[in-house]
Amino acid sequence: MRKIKFPLLILLTLFNLPIQAQTTAPTIDTGDTAWVLVSTALVLFMSIPGLALFYGGLVRRKNVLSVFMQIFILVAAISVEWVILGYSNAFGSNSIDWLKPFIGGFDWAFLRNISINELSPFFISHYSVLADGSKVGTIPHIVFILFQGMFAVITPALIIGAFAERINFKGFLIFSILWAIFIYNPIAHWVWSADGWLYKMGTLDFAGGIVVHVSAGVAAIVTAILLGKRRDYKGHALPPHNIPQVAIGTGMLWVGWFGFNGGSGLAADGLAGNSLFVTHISASVAALTWTALEWKIDKRPTVVGICTGAIAGLATITGASGFVSVQSAIIIGFSASVICFLMVAYMKPKLGYDDSLDAFGVHGIGGIIGVILTGVFASPLIQLNYSGAIYGNFHQLWIQILATGTTIVFSGIGTYILFKITDKLVGVRVNDKHEAIGLDETQHGETAYTNFD
């Protein structure tokens, strides 16, 4: 504040006159912006090459290119959809009052009227106060849009794991774009937009436990059931064609998840540090637990097993990563591994559905566990305004359960409807002959490996 001579200060006070102060307009924080930019790249790294390698290694060699193509096309197609209408629908405000809690409008369609120096209206831990008292984030709006776009890309890509090796490429692409528009965007609006009804209720989802993993996981089980089993599926996992590729993909996903969770606070601060820490510990505990279970039950630990356990721990901690302590992350990682292991090893064969790469058993179940346990372990030591059942706030646990149940129902019914529409339009499943030959050759006219005889 500019110095004011003492007599003048008294005079201004007596007559209730305003004291002119020097104010600094909110500016972009370069540290926060740099961290979110890096996080954006890390989340893209999760899709390509991380998820492509992980899923691609798990399928048979005749279908590996189909998985790569599906993930690459989604990165391109959903990114364009996000610019055209996705971001505006997910984070914008609707001009129709009764629709505001459920879906955004089109004010930001094609990202019109958004300056590169405009501060993001969305923030988590850091913000600046404008002259009118409103708050803005400390990173550019355009950076927030790009960061969130990476989440929109990877979510439908996760569903690929459920219907791998048997889906028509044209049907896959149409279904995935429709799913992004009519399922992902509304759920993101519910949970993360200031107008969203689940946001206003107080739902806690730091990095996508509900928005990403529950929504995609439920869609995975629905599509797996509607498509039916692979023609040569015998009730147990088919051997992966390239286990080293699975391990490399898992490593990339693990690293990329640091941006996925750590960047979701939109600031380079202690919250980001804690998010990275709990993410790593949850994955580590889950990987160890899965290995121990395999070692005990099957008498030998496997590379595919430890990779699957790590992914289960990462998926489960996602929604909780901005609210729980490292100690709670140990419990969450252990719970994720045990429950997901039971789903994959026992419940799937018993129920008889063919979730090809366990998208539901790992991401769906893991996401559900993590969101609910957020309502148990959310700690005011991490974020002062949030607490869970272990701190006496059982209402938060109820909110988490309600949000999870609503998402399951919406994604399940919506996926069913969109699948049926797509199937009527272009067909979804490939015929038996094409499935036997492999999708690489029949859908794309290519083969991943050349034999030199």
Read off the pLDDT of residues 380-411 as tens digits, 9 standing for 90 and up: 999 999 999 999 999 999 999 999 999 999 99
Whether 309 maps to a domain, the answer reads yes
Rounded mean pLDDT of the chain?
92
Whether 8 maps to a domain, the answer reads no
Torsion of the alpha carbons at 272, 273, 274 and 279, rounded to the nearest 10: 90
Whether 127 maps to a domain, the answer reads yes
Q: Around 101, how many Cα atoms within 13 Å sit in the side-chain half-sphere?
A: 6
pLDDT at res. 293: 97
Above 90 in pLDDT, residue 9?
A: no
Q: Which of 76-80, 117-121, 131-135, 214-218 has the lowest mean pLDDT?
A: 131-135
CATH number at residue 298: 1.10.3430.10
Alpha-helical (H) ranges within 104-140 are none
Query: Mind listing the pLDDT tens digit for each residue in 15-66?
Result: 444 444 444 568 899 999 999 999 999 999 999 999 999 999 999 999 999 9
Mean pLDDT value of segment 330-334: 98
Q: Which amino acid, residue 165?
A: E
Above 50 in pLDDT, residue 436?
A: yes
Confidence of residue 452 (pLDDT cuts 50, 70, 90): low
Whether 260 maps to a domain, the answer reads yes
How buried is residue 163: exposed, middle or buried, by Cβ count under 10 Å (0-12/13-18/19+)? buried
Whether 131 maps to a domain, the answer reads yes
Mean pLDDT value of segment 311-321: 98
Above 90 in pLDDT, residue 84?
A: yes
Confidence of residue 13 (pLDDT cuts 50, 70, 90): very low
Contact status, residue 292 vs residue 342, Cβ threshold 8 Å: no
Alpha carbons 275 and 444: distance in angstroms, whole number: 40
pLDDT at res. 45: 97
Confidence of residue 92 (pLDDT cuts 50, 70, 90): very high
Above 50 in pLDDT, residue 236?
A: yes
Most confident range (mean pLDDT) of 2-6, 131-135, 396-400 is 396-400
Confidence of residue 73 (pLDDT cuts 50, 70, 90): very high
Above 60 in pLDDT, residue 3?
A: no
Query: Mind listing the pLDDT tens digit for each residue in 162-214?
Result: 999 999 999 999 999 999 999 999 999 999 999 999 999 999 999 999 999 99
Whether 18 maps to a domain, the answer reads no
Alpha carbons 393 and 372: distance in angstroms, whole number: 13
Whether 49 maps to a domain, the answer reads yes
Above 50 in pLDDT, residue 14?
A: no
Tell whether pTM > 0.75: yes
Most confident range (mean pLDDT) of 18-22, 208-212, 431-435, 446-450 is 208-212
What are the backbone dihedrals phi and psi of residue 354, each rounded to the nearest 5 degrees, phi first?
Answer: -110, 80
Please tell me the total count of domains within the chain.
1
pLDDT at res. 232: 84
Above 90 in pLDDT, residue 366?
A: yes
Residue whose C-alpha is closest to residue 59's, from 68, 49, 48, 50: 68
Percent of the chain with pLDDT over 70: 94
Percent of the chain with pLDDT over 90: 87
Contact status, residue 209 vs residue 352, Cβ threshold 8 Å: no
Residue with the larger pLDDT of the pair 190 and 2: 190
Q: Which residues pair with 136 in a beta bridge?
A: 128
Residue whose C-alpha is closest to residue 213's, from 248, 173, 184, 174: 184
Residue with the larger pLDDT of the pair 282 and 451: 282
Mean pLDDT value of segment 327-352: 96
pLDDT at res. 172: 97
Above 70 in pLDDT, residue 5?
A: no
Q: Which residues span the domain enclosing 407?
A: 30-442
Q: Which of 11-15, 105-109, 131-135, 301-305 has the lowest mean pLDDT?
A: 11-15
Residue whose C-alpha is closest to residue 197's, from 59, 411, 428, 403: 403
Whether 7 maps to a domain, the answer reads no
